Chains A and B, each alone.
Chain A
Amino acid sequence: MERVFNIFQQAGAAVRAFKLRTFFCLASIALGISSITIIVAATEGAYQRAFEIVDRFGPDSLMVLGGSETTRAVGHREKTITLEHVRAVEEAFSSAYLVVPMTSQGNIIASHRDRRLQTRVIGSTHDYSQAWTWPVIEGSDLTENDVKGLRNVALLGHEVVETLFGQESPVGKYVFVNRIPTQVVGVLASRGTSPAGHNLDNRIIMPITTVMRKIQNETRYINNFRIRFVDANRMENHEQELRSFLRQLQGTPEGAPDDFRIISPTEIIRFLVALTGSLVAFLGIVGVMSLVVAGFVLANLFLLSVKERTREIGVRRSVGAKKSDIRFQFLCEAVLITSLGGVAGFALGFAGAQLLTTMADFPMHFSWRAFAVGLGLSWTVGILFGLQPASRAANLKPIEALRA
Chain B
Amino acid sequence: MPLCSLKNIRKSYSLGQEEVEILRGISLEIQEGEFVALMGPSGSGKTTLMNIIGCLDVPTTGEYIFAGQKVSGLTDDELSIFRNEHMGFVFQNFHLLPYANVLENVLLPTLYVSGKKEGAPLKRARELLKLVGLEDRERFKPSQLSGGQQQRVAIARALVNDPRLILADEPTGQLDSSTAREIMDLLQKMGHGGKTVMVITHDLATAAYAERKVHMQDGLVSG
Contact = CB atoms under 8 A, between A and B. Distances in A.
Interface of A: 2-3, 6-7, 10, 13-14, 16-18, 311-312, 314-325, 398-399, 402
Among B95, B98, B104, B113, max chain A CB count under 10 A is at B95
Contact of B99 (A13, A311, A320): A13
B77 A10 contact: no
Contact of A322 (B76, B117, B161): B76
Contact of B111 (A6, A14, A16): A6
Among B80, B84, B85, which residue has the most Cβ atoms of chain A within 10 A? B80
Nearest to A318: B89
Given A315-B95, A402-B91, A320 B113 contact: yes
A304 to B, nearest CB: 16
Interface string B82-98: 01110101010001111
26 contacts: A10-B111, A13-B104, A14-B99, A17-B98, A311-B95, A312-B97, A314-B95, A315-B108, A316-B112, A317-B83, A318-B54, A318-B87, A318-B89, A319-B84, A319-B112, A319-B157, A320-B161, A321-B112, A322-B76, A322-B80, A322-B112, A324-B77, A325-B80, A325-B112, A399-B57, A402-B56
B186 interface: no
Given A16-B99, A322-B77, 16 more contacts: A3-B111, A3-B112, A3-B113, A3-B114, A7-B111, A314-B95, A319-B84, A319-B108, A319-B109, A320-B84, A320-B112, A322-B76, A398-B56, A398-B57, A399-B56, A402-B95
Interface of B: 51, 54, 56-57, 76-77, 80-81, 83-85, 87, 89, 91, 95-100, 104, 108-109, 111-114, 117, 157, 161
Contacts of A6: 111-112
Nearest to B52: A399
Nearest to A319: B109
Given A17-B99, A315-B108, A323 B57 contact: no
A153 B121 CA distance: 91
A239 to B, nearest CB: 68
A229 B57 CA distance: 83
Contacts of B112: 3, 6, 316, 319-322, 325
B76 A318 contact: no
Nearest to B82: A320
A320 B89 contact: no
B102 to A, nearest CB: 14
A248 B109 CA distance: 89
